Amino acid sequence: MSAQKFKAPRGTFDVLPEQEAVRRRVVEVARRQLEAAGFGRLDTPIFEETDLFARGVGESTDIVQKQMFTFTDQGGRSLTLRPEATASVCRAYLEHGMQTLAQPVKLWTEGPFFRHERPQAGRYRQFTQVNAESIGSDAPLVDAELILLAGDIVRELGVEGVRLRLGSLGTPRARAAYLDELRTYLRSREDELSDEVRGRIDANPLRAFDADHEGTRKVMEDAPTLMDRLDPADSEHFAEVRSLLDRNGVSYEIDPTLVRGLDYYTRTLFEFDCERLGAQSGIGGGGRYDGLIEQLGGPATPGCGWALGLDRIALALEGQARGGGPAEEPADLFIVADDSERERALSLATELRRAGLSADLDLAGRGIKGQMKQADRIGARHALILSGESTATLRDMTSGEEREVDLATVAETLSAP
Ligand code: HAM
């Protein structure tokens, strides 16, 4: 045999059958909780016009500058694999005239997203998010409802060691004034900063709070924070969000230096991380984006939302003793047949499957003994050993007990409680 030539592309991975259960459960718990809270599912295309993300996510972000999978289609259009959901959901909200519906419009989705990042454990170039957006109301209730739901989903899943950090970004005007103040401060200590932070003082000085570089971290300890510079209306909005979370028993930390890698945020900002994960500990995050829809050419419309990182949640659950998900359901039965009965075995399996049972059969030419072993290996509850024209032997794989059954009624026999 020749050596294996192909591998999954760098930063991507296959989800194997045994890894599926936990991922399915994450989506199922999120779906149930979100739909019970009035969120409707909206699926948008995997790719969009590049300009949607350039404008929506923001020209100065790492995502737009370095991480987009962009290509030109045969009609010469520039398209990009979606790096996140919010810009697409807002585009769809406008495109389908959802401003005319009762507000806020609550939408959720789930699926693959793409960012050309440096891969490491928990950071991939194709990853999966569960995403929720609530568009059309600036009430603090909206922010609180979203944060409560994200927290409850993570709790129901049983993720341990989760921490919620909360901050507020204020209006663009207050932010601009603050950013000027921060730039002036950073310039006053420019020679202590890392080259990267120094190079981005103009474009994105907030990223300095995120730096690992020791000199930069020292400088940031004394830096002014945005939370101290919020307008009164924003401070009040944030206080209300906090008080709603307090009333509902949510524990969180206020992080005045919380920054997120997307440009559209205004006011509330939050991040969930899990201490069980390594460097990529962020299992979800989001915030309010009151200027985004206008930025995309729509009327001024407030919005708020979050995304949970499904791959990281699955990693956290896999690392826990409880494993996080129920095992696969064992098959109801495995049909054991000798060479002359193989075709009949397939017909019978089909009949039983159509009747709603899970039935499997040998497809590899095993002998009877090998087939019994296979029935055991897949954890089948019963083996059905074909013998006569119209009857067969049904063996209980746990007790070893055997009895003759009529093939015409085997589906009923097995379905009976
Ligand atoms: P984000 O913080 O960029 O926010 O991503 C949300 C979550 O997706 C992260 O906390 C992380 O768990 C997961 N994630 C992001 N990038 C990767 C990656 N390369 N590999 C694995 N997991 C990853 C957003 O995407 C915003 N659209 C959230 C939002 C919705 N804000 C408002 N509405």
Tens of pLDDT, residue by residue over 60-113, are 888 999 999 999 999 999 999 999 999 999 999 999 999 999 999 999 999 999
- For residue 279, count other CB atoms closer than 10 A to its CB: 10
Residue 4's φ and ψ, nearest 5 degrees, are -65, 125
* Averaged pLDDT, 258-274: 91
Q: Ligand 1 pocket, 104 CB below 6 A?
A: no
Closest-CA residue to 56 (of 305, 398, 401): 305
* The two structure tokens encoding residue 28: 């199922």
Q: Ligand 1 pocket, 63 CB below 6 A?
A: no
Tens of pLDDT, residue by residue over 392-406, are 999 999 999 999 999
Counting every residue written for the chain, the total comes to 417
Q: Looking at the CA of residue 129, tell me the nearest atom of ligand 1.
A: 8
Q: What is the pTM of this model?
A: 0.88
Three-state SS at 64: helix
Q: Ligand 1 pocket, 260 CB below 6 A?
A: yes
Return d(Cα 297, Cα 54) in angstroms, integer.
Answer: 13
- For residue 297, count other CB atoms closer than 10 A to its CB: 9
Closest-CA residue to 262 (of 272, 253, 254, 271): 271
DSSP string across 190-220: GGGS-HHHHHTTTT-GGGGGG---HHHHHHH
Rounded to the nearest angstrom, the distance between the alpha carbon of 390 and the centre of ligand 1 is 58
Phi-psi category of residue 245: left, alpha or beta, with phi > 0 → left and psi -120 to 50 → alpha: alpha
In this structure, are residues 202 and 268 in contact, taking their beta carbons and an 8 Å threshold? no
Which residue has a Cα nearest atom 31 of ligand 1? 286
Rounded to the nearest angstrom, the distance between the alpha carbon of 371 and the centre of ligand 1 is 46
Tens of pLDDT, residue by residue over 306-333, are 999 999 999 999 888 654 444 567 789 9
Burial of 93 (0-12, 13-18, 19+ CB in 10 A): buried
Return d(Cα 187, Cα 7) in angstroms, integer.
Answer: 47
Closest-CA residue to 98 (of 54, 127, 137, 51): 137
Which residue did the predictor score with more confidence, 137 or 262? 137
Which residue did the predictor score with more confidence, 39 or 58? 39
Closest-CA residue to 288 (of 95, 88, 111, 139): 139
Q: Looking at the CA of residue 131, tell me the nearest atom of ligand 1.
A: 30
Q: What is the pLDDT, as a whole number, of residue 60?
A: 82
Q: What is the pLDDT, as a whole number, of residue 2?
A: 62
Closest-CA residue to 301 (of 135, 72, 111, 147): 135
**CA separation, residue 46 to residues 49, 50, 111, 114 (Å):** 11, 12, 9, 9
